[in-house]
Amino acid sequence: YTEEQTITPIRDLSGTITHFVGIKEDVTERVRTEAALRDSQERLQRALAIGKGALWQWQVADNRVYYSPEWREHV
């Protein structure tokens, strides 16, 4: 179980802190998803490095293209 917490001071009209409000959020699934994504990226990078594979990716939405270093060497 992983959570994030935000604590905010509440002040009166003179600026004195009178109490705090805290909000906790369960971020367990997000943390697991981020870890899985990192593992997947590492596996892909290792596979490309070992296999001397070339990779390119086109982001249609903003017309960006990524070329792996191996792709650039072979073009």
pLDDT in tens, 35-73: 999 999 998 888 877 777 777 888 898 999 888 877 777
The pLDDT of residue 74 is above 70:
no
| pLDDT at residue 75 in the model | 62
**Gap between the Cα atoms of 31 and 40, Å rounded:** 14
- Whole-model pTM: value is 0.56
Residue given tokens 């917490």 in the structure block: 5
**Gap between the Cα atoms of 20 and 62, Å rounded:** 43
CA distances to 26, 42, 58, 65, 70 from 55, in Å: 36, 14, 10, 11, 7
